[in-house]
Amino acid sequence: MVISNVEIASIFDQLADLLEIKGENPFKTRAYRNATRTIENLGTDLRKMLEDGADISQIPTIGEHIALKIEEIIKTGKLAKLEYLKHTFSPHLLDLLKVEGIGPKRAKVLYRELNISSLEGLKKAAEKHQISALKGFSEKLEKKILKGTLLAKKEGIRFMYSVAEPYAEALTAYLKNFKETLQVIVAGSFRRRKETVGDLDILATSAHPALLIDYFVQYPDIKEVLSKGDTRSTVILANSMQVDLRCVAKESYGAALHYFTGSKSHNIAIRIMARDMGLKVNEYGIFKSDEKIAGATEEEMYETVGLRYIEPELRESRGEHRAAREGRLPELITLEDMKGDLHMHTHYSDGRNSIVEMAEAAKAIGHSYIAITDHSKHLSIVHGMDEKRLREQMEEIDRINETLKGITILKSIEVDILEDGTLALPNTVLKELDLVVGAVHDKFNLSQKMQTKRILKAMDNPCFNILAHPTGRLIGERAPYKVNMKQLFEGVKERGCFLEINAQPKRLDLNDIYAKRAKEAGVRFSISTDAHNAASLHYMKYGVYQARRGWLEKEDVINTLSLGKLRKVLGR
C-alpha cells in the first residue's frame, strides 16, 4: 500500500483534532500535534524507512507509542483509534476545521451548543446569526466563518500537488515495471502542475493494451475498480483519488498526450486554428480530409498548426498561442537554475534545525548561499527574536561563515509588517543585515485600501528587500487578504524591492496568475522555501513549478544569480 508522509501526518492531525473536541488530556493531543509537524517535514519516506529496518521511534517527537501507530497506518492505510473516534462523532465534523477562525475548541462549542456537524449546518447557522449569539463568538467572527464555509466548499475534493505527486510517481513506476509497457506518463492538471489535482489521468502505449489494463487493476493501493475495458480503466485509490488509465496507439501518443493534458480552453484554441487551415484535431491526431498527418508526438502537433512547442505549464489560454506563433514563448526557469534559498527558519524561532544543519542541507542539494530569516518578536507564538537575540544570531553566522566551506550564510530576518506599515524591528539593526524579508502575519481583514497602504509604507523603508508570501493565502484554508495588486506591483518595482514566490505547498504564494501579471509590470522575484527544517528545503521545486506557470524565466528570479550579483541587486 502506498501512503505518503503527508497522509500519515494528516491522520495524526485529525486524531488530535477529535481528541481535543472530545476534551481529552491536552498533553496527549500536543504529542500528536508535535508528531504531525515532524512527519510533515520529514525528508525521508516513513514507509521506506520501515522497509529498510529503521527504528522510527528514535525520530524526535515520535517515540515507541506513535511509532507503532505509524506502522499500523502503513500496513492498513488507516488508524483504528481514529476510525473509532470518527464513529462517535458526525462523519463531517472535521470539515468545520477547514474554515478559517474555527479550531477544535470552537468546533467543540458549535457541536455541543448548536449541534453543528457539517459545513452546510455551519453555513445555515451563520446565515441565521445563531453563531454570534454564542459566548466567545462575535458578529465579525460569524461573517468570517460564513465566508470560510463558501471557500471550503468551493475547494471540493482535490489534492494538493505535493500530496498527489507520490501517488503519480508510484503508479508510473508500477506501470513501467510491466514488460508490456512502452510509454507511460501522467497527463491532465498534474502535468500542467496546477496547485491542486482532482484526479490522475495516465496515458500509456503497449503492444498488448488489454494485458496492461489487467496488470493495472491489480495495483495494491486500489480501493475500487469503477470500470475495466480493453484499453481503458478507472479506479479509486485507498485515499479516494480517482485514476484513469488510457492505452493509446503509439502513432497517436502525441495527440492523446496533448488532448488529455489540456487545458480545455488551450485545446479548443488549437482546434480552431487547425479548422481555419482546413484540418481536424482530435485525440487521435491531426487529419487533412481522412488522411492523418500528425499525432505521434506533441511537437508535431504544434508544428502542424504553425506553432512552437508549448510547455504544459503554459497551456491555460493566457496568450501562449500568440507567443508561440510570434516566437515570444519564455524559456522557463528550472530547478537547476536556483543558486540559493532566501527564506528559512532555525531553532532561533520556530524552526527545527540549527543554522549549521540548514546550511549543510542546502549545500547538499547544490545551493551556494542561503539566508536565515527567523521571525521577529512581534509573533510571540513562534518565539520571535528581539534586537538582542538577532545580534547574537548575526554573530553566530559570522563565526560559522569563517569555517564553513562551499556555502555562504546571509544574515536576514522575516520581520513583521505592523498594522501602521512600520517594521517590528528598528533600522539600527535591520541595516546591518544582508537582506530583509518583510511579511504580513496579522490583521488580515483590513480593507483593500488600508492593507495596500500598509505594505507600500513598509516597502518605503530602505532596509526592506523582499515581500514574503505576498497575499497571505493558505490553499483551501484561508483566502488571500485584500490588496490592490496593480498598486502593489507598481510599488515593488518603484522601490527596488522583490516579491516572493513561497514554495510551501499550502501557500504557493504568489499564485501563477499574479506572478505573470507582476512580471509584465516589470517586477522581479525570489523563489524560497520558507523551510522550517532541513528536509523542507526540497520544497524549492514546488516554487519553481509555480513560477513556470507564471511564465517566469531565470532572469526574473534574483536567487538564480551568483552571490556577488545578488548582493548588488539587494542594495537599495
Look up the CATH architecture of domain 159-247.
2-Layer Sandwich (3.30)
CB neighbour list of residue 261: distance below 8 Å, 6 or more residues apart: 187, 188, 191, 192, 312, 315
What whole-number distance in Å separates Cα of residue 218 and Cα of residue 7?
22
Does residue 394 contact residue 432 with C-beta atoms inside 8 Å? yes
Amino acid at 290: D
Look up the CATH architecture of domain 253-325.
2-Layer Sandwich (3.30)
Look up the CATH architecture of domain 5-155.
Orthogonal Bundle (1.10)
Half-sphere exposure of 291 (CA within 13 A, CB side): 3
CB neighbour list of residue 305: distance below 8 Å, 6 or more residues apart: 270, 273, 274, 277, 279, 281, 286
Residue at grid coordinates 532566501: 342
CATH 3.20.20.140 range(s) for the chain read 335-570
pLDDT in tens, the chain (572 residues): 667 787 888 889 889 888 888 888 888 888 888 888 888 777 678 888 888 888 998 888 898 999 999 999 888 888 888 888 887 777 677 788 878 788 888 888 888 888 888 888 888 998 999 999 888 888 888 888 888 777 665 545 789 999 999 999 999 999 999 999 999 999 999 999 999 998 999 999 999 999 999 999 999 999 899 889 999 999 999 888 999 999 999 999 999 999 999 999 999 999 999 999 999 999 999 999 989 999 999 999 999 999 999 999 999 999 999 999 999 999 999 999 999 999 999 999 989 899 999 999 999 999 999 999 999 987 655 678 999 999 999 999 999 999 999 999 999 999 999 999 999 999 999 999 999 999 999 999 999 999 999 999 999 999 999 999 999 999 888 889 999 999 999 999 999 999 999 999 999 999 999 999 999 999 999 999 999 999 999 999 999 999 999 999 999 999 999 999 999 999 87
131: which 3 cell numbers? 453563531
What does the pLDDT read at residue 119? 84
What whole-number distance in Å separates Cα of residue 341 and Cα of residue 566?
12
Residue at grid coordinates 497522509: 7
Which has the closest alpha carbon to 530: 549, 508, 515?
508
Does residue 355 contact residue 400 with C-beta atoms inside 8 Å? yes
What does the pLDDT read at residue 2? 67
Does residue 332 contact residue 548 with C-beta atoms inside 8 Å? yes
Which string of DSSP letters, residue by residue, matches 108-133? Answer: HHHHHHH---SHHHHHHHHHTT-STT
CATH 1.10.150.110 range(s) for the chain read 5-155
Query: Which backbone phi and psi does 95 adopt, to 5 degrees?
Result: -65, -25
Q: In this structure, what is the dihedral angle of CA atoms 13, 14, 15, 20, given to the nearest 10 degrees?
A: 90
Alpha carbon distances (Å) from 428 to 246, 425, 455:
63, 8, 21
Q: Which CATH number fits domain 335-570: 3.20.20.140, 3.40.47.10, 3.90.950.20, 3.90.226.10?
A: 3.20.20.140
CATH 3.30.460.10 range(s) for the chain read 159-247
Angle between helices 387-403 and 355-364 (to 10 degrees): 50
CATH 3.30.210.10 range(s) for the chain read 253-325
Residue 409 bridge partners (DSSP): 370
Does residue 507 contact residue 472 with C-beta atoms inside 8 Å? no
